[in-house]
Amino acid sequence: MLLQKTNFSKKFTSFTKNFIRFTSQKFTPFKIAVCQLKISHEKKENFNKIKKAVEESKKNGADITVFGESCTCPFSRGSWLKNAEEIPRGETTEFFSNLAKQNNISIISGTFPEKEDEKKVYNTCCVFDDNGKLIAKHRKLHLFDVDVKQFRYHESDLILPGQNLTIANTQKFGKIGIGICYDLRFPQIAQIYAQHQCKLIVYPSSWMRPTSKHWDLLLKVRAIDTQCFIVGASPARDEKAKFVCHAHSQVVDPWGLVLLELDEKEGIGYAKIDYNYLEEIRQKIPVLNQKRDDVYCLEDLSKKQK
Ligand SMILES: NC(=O)CC(=O)C(=O)O
């Protein structure tokens, strides 16, 4: 499901009326696997690692498995242009789709370069159900154009921004909101996902090291302010890579507690996602129902004060 670009305030107001009602739909608790892999320059090697990780996750009882940002090739201009492909026609889509189907497991692919033309790509994440069907595709919305001390990144030299928010509508896990890395810094997206009854928001990421404290905090803050389960999935750290990421993939529950945190090395972590617990939190502190969208606007302030 792609949410078209909208006027935020208008949308907020209209959704308030339907806002987070406790739906009668019940979901069985499920197990999520977060696969933090070291990325090689060879796509085939990465495919092999991903395949093994999916098989291992399945063996360990996972229902859904998640990978990090840039999980089929390292994050660099040359590598991204070389490995860019169309979606759904490219080999990476086919690879993930077959893997999901063969292992009867849902997969959130992490991200890989989606070809636009010879010079530009999108940073794209695909979601597959356990029949291998591609059910959602998210293109990174906010591009990481920043200057932090000696770290200067300008993703928009290579990457085009996505234009849509993305919710994967699944049978087993309900609605899953997708964001990519820097998208985590923009609370508007997560708020809209929560308004659309998402209970799980997944951010395939490759966070930079100088802002690692923000990673820890933002995952918790998004969990608390949306009362959703939040997943941040990263590749493992590679000190020799052009972009050395923080790693530390995490799953945070709707109370803001960390259910799972990996270190910087390769590994697979598991977390139980129980929406009954989420409903308990939403009942105890019903901020989502108590929002005052009718006053979150200064437009009419002068009239109101008269
Ligand atoms: N790498 C990113 O897209 C974002 C990041 O590292 C940060 O916001 O800090």
Q: Which residues of 95-121 are buried (b: 16+ CB within 10 A; e: fewer)?
A: bbbebbbebebbbbbbbbbbbeeeebb
86 a catalytic residue: no
Average pLDDT, the chain: 91
The protein residue whose alpha carbon is closest to atom 4 in ligand 1 is 182
- Report the 10 Å Cβ neighbour count for 126: 26
What integer pLDDT is reported at residue 300 of this predicted model? Answer: 61
Those residues whose C-beta lies under 8 Å from the C-beta of residue 236, and which sit 6 or more positions away, are 36, 37, 38, 39, 247, 264, 265, 266, 267
For 22, 138, 263, 275, the CA distances from 26, given in Å and listed in that order, are: 10, 26, 34, 8
Mean pLDDT across 177-198: 98
Mean pLDDT across 217-228: 98
Q: How many angstroms separate the alpha carbon of residue 237 from the centre of ligand 1?
A: 14
Question: What's the pLDDT tens digit per position in 81-135?
Answer: 999 999 999 999 999 999 999 999 999 999 999 999 999 999 999 999 999 999 9
- Report the 10 Å Cβ neighbour count for 173: 22
The finding on whether 30 has its CB within 6 A of some atom of ligand 1 is no
Cis peptide before 254 (omega within 30 of 0): no
- C-alpha to C-alpha distance for 63 and 236, rounded to whole angstroms: 22
C-alpha count within 13 angstroms, C-beta hemisphere, residue 158? 16
- C-alpha to C-alpha distance for 57 and 283, rounded to whole angstroms: 33
**ipTM above threshold 0.90:** yes
- How does residue 301 score in pLDDT terms, banded at 50, 70 and 90? low
Taking Cα atoms as reference points, which of 139, 102, 100 lies closest to residue 120?
139
> In testing the pocket of ligand 1, which one of 124, 181, 219, 221 has its CB within 8 Å of the most ligand atoms?
181
Question: What's the pLDDT tens digit per position in 132-144?
Answer: 999 999 999 999 9
Taking Cα atoms as reference points, which of 223, 48, 102, 82 lies closest to residue 158?
82
Tokens 């990174």, residue?
140
- How does residue 306 score in pLDDT terms, banded at 50, 70 and 90? low
Taking Cα atoms as reference points, which of 69, 109, 34 lies closest to residue 262?
34
Taking Cα atoms as reference points, which of 257, 255, 256, 238 lies closest to residue 246?
238
Q: Residue length, the chain?
A: 306
Question: What's the pLDDT tens digit per position in 5-35?
Answer: 444 444 433 444 444 444 457 899 999 999 9
Question: What's the pLDDT tens digit per position in 143-159?
Answer: 999 998 777 889 999 99
Residue with more model confidence, 39 or 299? 39
> In testing the pocket of ligand 1, which one of 76, 111, 146, 208 has its CB within 8 Å of the most ligand atoms?
208
Question: What's the pLDDT tens digit per position in 48-72?
Answer: 999 999 999 999 999 999 999 999 9
The pTM score is: 0.91
- C-alpha to C-alpha distance for 126 and 110, rounded to whole angstroms: 7
The protein residue whose alpha carbon is closest to atom 1 in ligand 1 is 207
Number of H helices, E strands in the chain: 9, 15
Least confident of 13-27, 246-260, 267-281: 13-27
Q: How many angstroms separate the alpha carbon of residue 182 from the centre of ligand 1?
A: 5
Q: How many angstroms separate the alpha carbon of residue 197 from the centre of ligand 1?
A: 26
pLDDT above 80 (res 293): yes
For 45, 144, 180, 219, the CA distances from 186, given in Å and listed in that order, are: 34, 12, 11, 12
